[in-house]
Every structure is written in structure tokens, then in C-alpha cells.
């Protein structure tokens, strides 16, 4: 099913040699091929960028470095995978709570949306205010992988607060298949069950041993009678973000008994 579906992926690390993702152009091209193989036709790749560097000379140098590596990737990928559209953004780490995002080069393909995360997979105090401030300045914060934060007691409640401030939530494919451990898996499904997820993405780091999980995610959601939600999460809403529009609401995913029981078993307290 997925190979013909033209999925859209707004979070990955494929620009060669600029972060902890693809190391070489060949690595990146192989990743593009693997993503094309699971039906992804639009890839928005998002190298890491610290918000604290944004306004200084280091920030400008970083943007120039990434742009030129990205151009090389686009050129090479156009030859080998002409069916794939490659776009670029950044994943902005909010080590600075009030960053200036007025430069369109740091946002998602020049739209008003910007992919953000907090440092060290921990949620600092005051995150709703940070998101509200970004939104009030005309930018649409897309919070990357909320399910992966370690310090959160109830991710569903926090996610509601973030959304109330105008944030968009992006969950990783791999979280839904257990690739980031039981806490992220439980968090990801709880968010889907609450209807709080706007889109899914791979966060692919070009590591061949970490298989892409999209096929498995589609299969699991289809089995839960959530094919409509899959299309919203992996195509409609990512495309709306790229068209600079707010995502549409996604209906809650209804768990069946077996799946609910499986998630309950994941709830056991973890050591970390």
C-alpha cells in the first residue's frame, strides 16, 4: 500500500556531514533511496541547530554550511531518485527560550513553521510560555517527538497545554514501534488515542541498522481501523504545514482490547 501513497516526511537528518545524521553524500543518498522504498515522496530534512547561535556570526556560518551541503544532496538525488522532492528546514534546539526566527532559512522550507525541541530530552519549566511567544510572533512551532521527553509525568496533559498555545505536535514513526523504548511507545500511542498528534515523521538519522518503521506503523494503524488517520498524519497534515497552513484535526485512534492490554504492560515504572 505505502509504495503508491506518496507519503511526506518533515523531520530527518540527511544533509551530509553537518550533524549526527548522514556522514557522507553516499550515506544520505542511500537513506533517500530507503525512504523512497517505503513510499515517501517528499522529504523535508532538518539538521540540528542551537537557538543560542541564531543571531550571531556562528549561526550565519552554520546556515551557509548546511545550505551548500544540502544543494549537493539535492543535485545528486535528482539524478538517482527523480521521484523524490527534497526540501530543507532545521530542527531548532531551544537552548534559548526567546529565539529570533525571523530568518526564513531557519524555518521549514521557508514557511512560518519551525521544528523545535528542548535540550537533553528534558522539558524545562515554562515551555507553554515559550511556545506562546513564538506563536505570537507569527511562527508556528512544530514540537518534535513530544513522546520522547524523559522528565514528563503526563505527556498527554502537557501536550494539551502546548497545543492550546498553538503548537503542532510531531510524533516519530519509531516511537510507535518501540524503537525508542517503552516510555516513548506508550506516550506516542497515548497521544494518538487522545487525538493530539498532528503528524508523524521518521527523524531518520541515516543509520542503516535502524530500519525505517513507516510500513509497520501503517500496518498497525490500519489494523486499528485508523487508515483515515494515517493519511492525515503522514500526508495531509505534513503537506498543509509545507503549504503554510495549520494542520487539520486528526480523529483519536481507538485502541482495541489487545493493543490496550499491550500498552498497559508497558506502563510498569522504569528505572530511569
**Rule CB under 5 A: which residues touch Fe ion?**
91, 203
10 vs 24: CA distance, rounded Å:
21
234 DSSP 8-state letter: I
Closer by beta carbon to Fe ion, 21 or else 224: 21
Closer by beta carbon to Fe ion, 92 or else 221: 92
CB of 12 to Fe ion, least distance (A): 7
Closer by beta carbon to Fe ion, 168 or else 224: 168
Contact between residue 261 and residue 174 where contact means Cβ atoms under 8 Å apart: no
φ/ψ of 254, rounded to 5, equals -85, 125
CB of 174 to Fe ion, least distance (A): 11
Query: What is the enclosing helix (H) or strand (E) of 133?
Result: helix 127-136
CB of 222 to Fe ion, least distance (A): 26
6 vs 4: CA distance, rounded Å:
6
Three-class SS string for 180-198?
A: CCHHHHHHHHHHHHCCCCC
Closer by beta carbon to Fe ion, 45 or else 111: 45
CB of 194 to Fe ion, least distance (A): 23
90 vs 88: CA distance, rounded Å:
7
CB of 79 to Fe ion, least distance (A): 27
Closer by beta carbon to Fe ion, 50 or else 262: 50
Q: Which residues pair with 169 in a beta bridge?
A: 143
Amino acid at each position: 500500500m505505502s509504495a503508491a501513497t506518496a507519503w511526506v516526511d518533515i523531520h530527518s537528518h540527511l544533509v551530509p556531514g553537518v550533524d549526527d545524521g548522514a556522514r557522507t553524500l553516499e550515506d544520505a543518498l542511500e537513506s533517500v533511496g530507503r525512504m523512497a522504498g517505503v513510499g515517501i515522496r517528499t522529504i523535508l530534512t532538518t539538521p540540528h541547530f542551537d537557538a543560542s547561535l541564531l543571531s550571531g556570526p556562528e549561526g550565519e556560518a552554520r546556515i551557509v554550511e548546511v545550505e551548500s551541503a544540502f544543494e549537493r544532496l539535492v543535485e545528486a538525488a535528482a539524478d538517482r531518485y527523480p521521484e523524490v522532492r527534497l526540501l530543507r528546514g532545521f530542527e531548532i534546539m531551544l537552548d534559548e527560550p526567546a529565539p529570533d526566527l525571523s530568518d526564513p532559512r531557519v524555518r521549514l522550507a521557508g514557511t512560518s513553521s519551525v521544528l523545535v525541541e528542548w535540550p537533553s530530552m528534558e522539558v524545562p519549566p515554562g515551555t507553554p510560555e515559550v511556545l506562546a511567544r513564538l506563536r505570537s510572533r507569527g511562527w508556528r512551532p512544530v514540537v518534535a517527538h513530544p513522546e520522547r521527553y524523559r522528565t514528563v509525568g503526563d505527556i498527554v496533559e502537557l501536550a494539551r497545554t502546548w497545543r492550546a498555545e498553538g503548537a503542532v505536535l510531531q510524533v516519530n514513526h519509531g516511537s510507535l514501534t518501540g524503537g525508542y523504548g517503552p516510555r516513548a511507545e506508550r506516550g506516542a500511542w497515548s497521544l494518538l488515542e487522545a487525538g493530539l498528534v498532528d503528524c508523524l515523521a521518521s527523524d531518520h538519522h541515516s543509520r542503516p541498522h535502524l530500519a525505517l518503521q513507516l510500513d509497520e506503523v501503517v500496518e498497525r494503524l490500519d489494523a486499528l481501523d485508523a487508515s483515515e488517520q494515517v493519511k492525515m498524519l503522514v500526508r495531509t497534515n505534513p503537506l498543509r504545514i509545507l503549504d503554510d497552513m495549520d494542520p487539520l484535526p486528526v480523529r483519536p485512534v481507538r485502541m482495541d482490547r489487545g493493543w490496550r492490554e499491550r500498552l498497559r504492560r508497558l506502563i510498569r515504572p522504569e528505572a530511569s
